[in-house]
Amino acid sequence: MIELKEAITALVDKDVEFVLIGGVAVRLQSSAYVTEDLDLCYARNHANLINLVQALQRFSPRPRDVPKDLPFIFDEKHLAKRYQFYIEHNNR
């Protein structure tokens, strides 16, 4: 499980252009709704994709739809090819 504060801090520290959406955004607005996933929309320009990769690399992210036994490289080229990701934290 990704520590939400650590992940958000990493995104901000790397100057990632993003907007929080979903349960975390609702929770930050003082809702009692509890969620442990981080949903966000991010700018898709090349520089921002590089910043996003650098920010999240420490979490060893990988798409949920990629079998665990297949190698996966989290990089800006892969992010640029897809518009939606369900990424798991891989350091468990």
20-65 pLDDT tens trace = 887 666 666 665 656 667 788 899 999 999 999 999 998 888 887 8
User: Tell me, what's the pLDDT at 92?
Assistant: 45
Which helix H or strand E contains 70, and what residues bound it? none
Q: What pTM was estimated for this model as a whole?
A: 0.78
Of the candidates 16, 13, 36, the residue with the CA atom closest to the CA atom of residue 24 = 36
Mean pLDDT, range 4-20, rounded to an integer? 92
Residue 48 neighbours by CB under 8 Å, 6+ apart: 16, 17, 42
C-alpha–C-alpha distance, residues 73 and 92, integer Å: 18
Cα-Cα end-to-end distance for the chain: 7
